[in-house]
């Protein structure tokens, strides 16, 4: 089945530890995105990528890092520099171009204690 897979669904980490969230897609999409969602809030863009080995900072990139070594994969690392990392993280992908919809993975709920 084609789609976007995020893993794990739930993740618990101790404060001060780096953690990497996985995002894999088999839709052959060029563009991939990472968003953060806090309770009662919309989606805030962390990083996005249009092609392999290239990515851009979104609106809240501080404390996060990404890589795009393969077209199918766009992992997000939440570093210890992120002051308030507990949130719901969503990965999306789309074809490049304007009139192309983004498809979302099921999300990873990260809790830092």
First to last CA, the chain: 35
Residues 27-86 contacting other proteins, CB under 8 A: 31, 33, 35, 40-45, 48, 50, 56, 58-59
Q: Which stretch binds other proteins (CB under 8 A): 14-22, 61-69, 73-81, 95-103?
A: 95-103
By beta-carbon proximity to other proteins, the closer residue of 30 and 73 is: 30
- We find the least distance from the C-beta atom of residue 93 to other proteins, in angstroms, to be 11
| CA distances, 47 to each of 36, 59, 86, 102, 113 (Å) | 10, 8, 17, 14, 24
By beta-carbon proximity to other proteins, the closer residue of 82 and 93 is: 93
Q: If binding is defined by CB under 8 A, does position 111 make contact with other proteins? A: no
Binding site for other proteins (CB under 8 A): 31, 33, 35, 40-45, 48, 50, 56, 58-59, 90, 92, 94, 96-99, 101-107
């Amino acid at each position: 089945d084609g789609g976007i897979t995020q893993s794990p669904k739930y993740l618990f980490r101790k404060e001060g530890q780096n953690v990497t969230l996985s995002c894999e897609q088999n839709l052959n999409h060029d563009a991939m995105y990472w968003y953060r969602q806090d309770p009662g809030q919309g989606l805030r863009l962390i990083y996005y990528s249009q092609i392999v080995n290239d990515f851009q900072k979104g609106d809240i990139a501080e404390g996060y890092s990404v890589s795009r070594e393969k077209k199918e994969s766009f992992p997000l690392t939440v570093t210890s520099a992120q002051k308030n990392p507990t949130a719901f993280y969503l990965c999306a992908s789309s074809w490049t171009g304007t009139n192309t919809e983004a498809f979302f993975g099921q999300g990873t709920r990260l809790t830092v204690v």
